[in-house]
Amino acid sequence: MKIKNFKEFDSLSTPCVIFVGPPGCGKGTQAEILCKKTHLKHVSTGDILRKSDDEEVKELMKTGKLLPDDLVSKELEKFIQKNKKSAGFVFDGYPRNLKQKTLLDKIMSNNNLETINIFFLDVPEETLKERIKERGKTSGRADDNDPEVFKVRMGEYKDQTLPLIKSMKKLKNFLEISGEKDLDEVTEIIFDNLGEI
Ligand code: AMP
């Protein structure tokens, strides 16, 4: 890992790392570890939305469906604006489809952000199902505790997120990692491949 010593010029872009993958693949955990070990800011759209007071948002989140792209993108941009002094961002849970990637590209160019790495953590569905069931015992998340909601989340992932992942695979800063490996091993691969931040 190379860390820029200081921002020499204001025009220097702000580095960002994107995590993508199915629900329960470990992207939230790895994003947190990365942020703890660096000076980057964790951006979890799931966490941002869970703090919303909007009853409609709360109800929709319980179903496992993705929320409207414009709503999530506005929340994301607000978060970035509020934290614009951060040395960089780690996106966890955004973008989740092709439209969101286009919106993110706009947000990034408006805010002088640059994608350094895209990490795709892939895990077989059966393992994800078990992990989410386990996580549900302590997460307190309604969407972790219902096998039917898991099916909806996986459906959204396959329909919306997989086409996005497919389109990003050709990018040179894209790396697929098996999320079935030990947590520490995944972290090591991430740090071994991390660009200059
Ligand atoms: P997560 O914490 O990433 O598992 O997200 C929990 C829920 O928040 C998802 O099932 C969606 O309902 C909603 N959500 C989070 N991120 C997004 C996003 N980028 N686009 C649409 N909905 C999202």
pLDDT tens, N- to C-terminus, the chain (197 residues): 666 655 455 568 999 999 999 999 999 999 999 999 999 999 999 999 999 999 999 999 999 999 999 999 999 999 999 999 999 999 999 999 999 999 999 999 999 999 999 999 999 999 999 999 999 999 999 999 999 999 999 999 999 999 999 999 999 999 999 999 999 999 999 999 999 99
Torsion angle of C-alpha atoms 110, 29, 147, 68, degrees rounded to 10: -10
With a threshold of 0.75, does the pTM exceed it?
A: yes
Q: Is 49 close to ligand 1, i.e. is its CB under 6 Å away?
A: yes
Taking residue 43's Cβ as centre, other Cβ atoms within 10 Å add up to: 24
Report which DSSP code applies to 51. T
List the domain boundaries for the chain: 15-193
The protein residue with its alpha carbon nearest to ligand 1, atom 5, reads 46
Q: Is 27 close to ligand 1, i.e. is its CB under 6 Å away?
A: no
Question: Under a CB-based contact definition with an 8 Å cutoff, are residues 26 and 190 in contact?
Answer: no
What separation in angstroms does the CA of 8 have from each of 11, 92, 143? 9, 28, 44
The span from the CA of 61 to the CA of 50, in Å, is 8
Encoding tokens for residue 178? 């098996």
What pLDDT, on the 0 to 100 scale, is given for residue 2?
61
The protein residue with its alpha carbon nearest to ligand 1, atom 19, reads 94
* φ, ψ at 42 (rounded to 5°): -75, 125
The span from the CA of 6 to the CA of 27, in Å, is 28
Q: Are strands 174-178 and 113-122 parallel, antiparallel or unpaired?
A: parallel
The protein residue with its alpha carbon nearest to ligand 1, atom 11, reads 66
Q: Is 23 close to ligand 1, i.e. is its CB under 6 Å away?
A: yes
C-alpha dihedral sign at 120, 122, 125, 128? negative
Q: Is 117 close to ligand 1, i.e. is its CB under 6 Å away?
A: no
Q: Is 118 close to ligand 1, i.e. is its CB under 6 Å away?
A: no
Q: Is 16 close to ligand 1, i.e. is its CB under 6 Å away?
A: no
* Dihedral-angle region of residue 165 (phi above 0 means left; psi in -120 to 50 means alpha; beta otherwise): alpha
Encoding tokens for residue 39? 């000076």
What pLDDT, on the 0 to 100 scale, is given for residue 1?
63
What pLDDT, on the 0 to 100 scale, is given for residue 11?
60
What pLDDT, on the 0 to 100 scale, is given for residue 3?
61
What pLDDT, on the 0 to 100 scale, is given for residue 12?
83
Q: Is 76 close to ligand 1, i.e. is its CB under 6 Å away?
A: no
Residue 154 alpha carbon to ligand 1 centre in Å: 12
Question: Under a CB-based contact definition with an 8 Å cutoff, are residues 166 and 108 in contact?
Answer: no
- Can you name the residues that pair with 116 across neighbouring β-strands? none
Q: Which CATH number fits domain 15-193: 3.30.565.10, 3.40.50.1400, 3.40.50.150, 3.40.50.300?
A: 3.40.50.300
Question: Under a CB-based contact definition with an 8 Å cutoff, are residues 121 and 21 in contact?
Answer: yes
